[in-house]
């Protein structure tokens, strides 16, 4: 394992030289003049001497002037590399890039950044990730212009994580908003960011700033804080503060100009947002405006068509009117703009892979994420600059923003992490305890018609079934620990006839059924035959008491309204599942409030459960152990 040490391995060497998110936005601003603003704060609250800003500005200008065109273009790209160490040989690197190791990929293209994924074998355990980060940074410093990397991951929490346990896991964004406590969002981002920083990840592609007003949204859902722009804005701001002010890593608000009202997943198609300009200004824009005001350092574009904002119907990532006209000019954003992954269908259906990176840069983007054919993309940008389609001065604008953050964050001076200290930061008992405290505030009791909850002492056996292996296994462990004998039948999101039959047979032999559903409302893509709904219908028909739990978006209850008891935990990971059990046994009084409204299955315009709905127990019952 590559564990290249820092030349100075003392703690604190990665501290931000800026103490506020607002100052960060200043350092990554689009002009060199902004870099020269006097008086930005040190992390310790002191004032930075004006001459230090001048020196930083001059260093950046000297560096840009010394770089070759290929080195400049390389800084724009953020790619996947395959391997657990910088020196791991992987055939995927060879097929994609023509070289075998991550270090060689970085050297070949002079990359500006790398994004980590489990499927790329980058994330096995925290110590390994820290070693990989150090190895990649050493490779970057040893090649080209010797500029350290942006190392990023999608650590949104809830169901979207790259660094799993033993790193601290938290509820999803929608779950955090269900708590109605903005501080929970700040704490989640702070702890998540601290743990990412400990393993060398200096950018999180979070928070999600989309306003999820469409219950049929197949790609955002619980990644959003909810359907109310004010609520979403409040929680987005707290996450920006947690990541940047407290954890000192780069936050990334996404997916501009707003991905919350679509029924198409941009990974597989082109979403078309039909909002008017006025609707965009009142629904989609506020969270991004709030993030910008809070000093967010980076914004990710969405691969979606928004005709009211750009009649050409180019995807937003490639739209000058959206990226430059709205984001830069109207909203005043001076930070980094990164594309969503350029492998996604939402950006590839109108233009070829050679045009997409060029058009993204012309639109105003700075960082190009995961082009599917790197040689094609790289050569296309180099060619566009040489041919004059993209001016070198435009290229240098993005370089100033990229280098401004790299210098301002301190990674240019010291890009390495202390591998020996990883386990002192990642997944500590204090962090895990804080996650449990937050999860207890998230669980939303939506229906308890038969007063089944809190569970009576007479329950001695339970069937745990449905979707979500982590959730089901955690339920088994937690019920067993409380003296209730569990039986588990995993059915997944598309239960077969045999699975349904096995669950029904087991239900008849138990005192209680707990069934987990995962976006059972989605009978278009996830579960076309509605088999999760059928499973719940047949379980209820057995007469055994049933507790249904939505482990993703809470909309499922509309499709099996005969269930008398329904909870939402918004994530289905271990931390929210344990909180569910504490709620079910009356150890915790449910406090969560819906951050979205739930429509009826028959008519999405008719509300079944309103925004803000959430039940709690009678304190008398809790005091009696019920």
Q: Enumerate the active-site residues.
A: 267, 340
Q: How far apart are CA 549 and CA 467, in angstroms?
A: 10
Q: How far apart are CA 575 and CA 439, in angstroms?
A: 7
Q: How far apart are CA 346 and CA 301, in angstroms?
A: 12
Residue 391's CB is within 10 A of a number of other CB atoms, namely 11
User: What element of type H or E holds 229?
Assistant: helix 229-240
Q: How far apart are CA 220 and CA 312, in angstroms?
A: 25
Q: Name the DSSP letter for residue 608.
A: E
Q: Per DSSP, what are the bridge partners of residue 485? A: 461
- Burial annotation 513-528 (CB, 10 A radius, 16+ → b, else e): bbbbbbbbbbbeebbe
Tokens encoding 586 = 């009356």
Tokens encoding 503 = 């669950």
For residue 537, count CB atoms less than 10 angstroms from its CB and return exposed for 0-12, middle for 13-18, buried for 19 or more.
middle
Strands (E), 6-142: 77-79, 113-115
- 8 A C-beta contact, residue 259 and residue 220: yes
Q: How far apart are CA 453 and CA 441, in angstroms?
A: 17
For residue 51, count CB atoms less than 10 angstroms from its CB and return exposed for 0-12, middle for 13-18, buried for 19 or more.
exposed
- 8 A C-beta contact, residue 215 and residue 554: no
Q: Name the DSSP letter for residue 264.
A: S
Q: Are strands 565-568 and 444-448 parallel, antiparallel or unpaired?
A: antiparallel
Tabulate helix, strand, coil % of the chain (nearest 5): 40, 10, 45
- 8 A C-beta contact, residue 326 and residue 257: yes
Tokens encoding 250 = 């780069």
CA-based max dimension of the chain: 78
Cβ-Cβ contacts under 8 Å for 430 (sequence gap 6 or more): none
Strands (E), 28-185: 77-79, 113-115, 150-153
The string of DSSP letters for 412-475 reads TT-----GGGGGGTTT-HHHHHHHHHHHHTT-EEEEETT---SPPTT--EEEEEES-HHHHHHH
Structure-token match 């989609």, residue found: 284
Q: How far apart are CA 391 and CA 594, in angstroms?
A: 49
Q: How far apart are CA 120 and CA 132, in angstroms?
A: 12
The backbone region for 276, taken as left when phi is positive above 0, alpha when psi lies in -120 to 50, beta otherwise, is: beta
- Among candidate residues 598, 582, 601, the one with its CA nearest the CA of residue 590: 582
Whether the bond between 166 and the residue before it is cis, its omega within 30 degrees of 0, is yes
Q: Are strands 113-115 and 77-79 parallel, antiparallel or unpaired?
A: parallel
């Amino acid at each position: 394992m590559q564990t290249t040490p820092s030349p100075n391995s003392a703690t604190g060497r990665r501290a931000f030289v800026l103490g506020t998110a607002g100052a960060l936005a200043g350092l990554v601003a689009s002009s060199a003049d902004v870099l020269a603003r006097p008086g930005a704060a040190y992390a310790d609250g002191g004032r930075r001497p004006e001459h230090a800003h001048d020196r930083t500005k001059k260093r950046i200008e000297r560096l840009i002037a010394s770089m070759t065109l290929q080195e400049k273009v390389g800084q724009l790209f953020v790619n996947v590399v395959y391997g657990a160490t910088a020196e791991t040989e992987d055939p995927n690197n060879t097929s994609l890039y023509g070289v075998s190791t991550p270090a060689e990929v970085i050297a070949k293209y002079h990359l500006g950044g790398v994004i980590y994924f489990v499927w790329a074998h980058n994330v096995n355990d925290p110590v390994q990730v820290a070693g990989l980060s150090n190895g990649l940074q050493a490779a970057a410093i040893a090649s080209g212009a010797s500029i350290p990397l942006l190392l990023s991951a999608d650590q949104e929490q809830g169901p979207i994580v790259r660094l799993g346990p033993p790193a601290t896991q938290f509820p999803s964004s929608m779950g955090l908003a269900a708590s109605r406590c903005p501080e929970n969002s700040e704490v989640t981002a702070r702890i998540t960011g601290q743990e990412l920083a400990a393993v060398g990840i200096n950018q999180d592609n979070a928070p999600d700033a989309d306003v999820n007003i469409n219950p049929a949204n197949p790609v955002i859902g619980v990644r959003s804080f909810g359907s109310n722009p004010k609520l979403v804005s409040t929680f987005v701001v707290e996450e920006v503060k947690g990541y940047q002010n407290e954890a000192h890593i780069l936050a990334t608000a996404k997916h501009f100009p707003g991905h919350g009202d679509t029924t198409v997943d941009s990974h597989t198609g082109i979403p078309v947002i039909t909002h008017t300009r006025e609707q965009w200004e009142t629904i989609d824009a506020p969270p991004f405006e709030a993030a910008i005001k809070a000093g967010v350092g980076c914004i990710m574009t969405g691969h979606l068509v928004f005709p009211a904002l750009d009649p050409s119907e180019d995807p937003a990532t490639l739209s000058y009117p959206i990226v430059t006209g709205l984001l830069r000019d109207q909203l005043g954003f001076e930070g980094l703009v990164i594309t969503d992954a350029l492998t996604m269908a939402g950006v590839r259906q109108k233009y070829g892979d050679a045009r997409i990176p060029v058009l993204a840069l012309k639109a105003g983007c700075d960082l190009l994420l995961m082009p599917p054919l790197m040689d094609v993309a790289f050569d296309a940008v180099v060619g566009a600059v040489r041919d004059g389609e993209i001016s070198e001065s435009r290229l240098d604008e993005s370089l100033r923003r990229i280098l401004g953050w790299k210098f301002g964050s301190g990674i240019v001076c010291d890009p390495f992490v202390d591998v020996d200290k990883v386990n002192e930061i990642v997944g500590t008992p204090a962090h895990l305890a804080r996650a449990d405290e937050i999860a207890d505030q998230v669980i939303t009791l939506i229906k308890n018609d038969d007063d089944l909850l809190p569970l009576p002492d007479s329950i001695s056996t339970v069937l745990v079934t449905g979707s979500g292996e982590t959730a089901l296994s955690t339920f088994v462990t937690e019920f067993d620990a409380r003296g209730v004998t569990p039986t588990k039948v995993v059915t997944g999101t598309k239960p077969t006839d045999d699975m349904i039959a096995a669950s029904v047979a087991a239900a008849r032999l138990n005192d209680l059924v707990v069934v987990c559903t995962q976006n059972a409302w989605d009978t278009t893509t996830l579960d076309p035959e509605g088999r999760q709904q059928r499973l719940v219908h047949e379980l209820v028909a057995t007469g055994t008491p049933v507790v249904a739990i939505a482990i993703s978006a809470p909309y499922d209850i509309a499709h099996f309204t005969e269930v008398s008891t329904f909870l939402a935990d918004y994530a289905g990971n271990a931390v929210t599942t344990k909180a569910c059990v504490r709620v079910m046994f009356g150890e915790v009084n449910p406090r969560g409030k819906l951050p979205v409204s739930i429509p009826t299955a028959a008519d999405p315009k008719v509300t079944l459960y309103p925004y803000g709905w959430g039940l709690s127990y009678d304190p008398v019952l809790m005091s009696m152990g019920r």
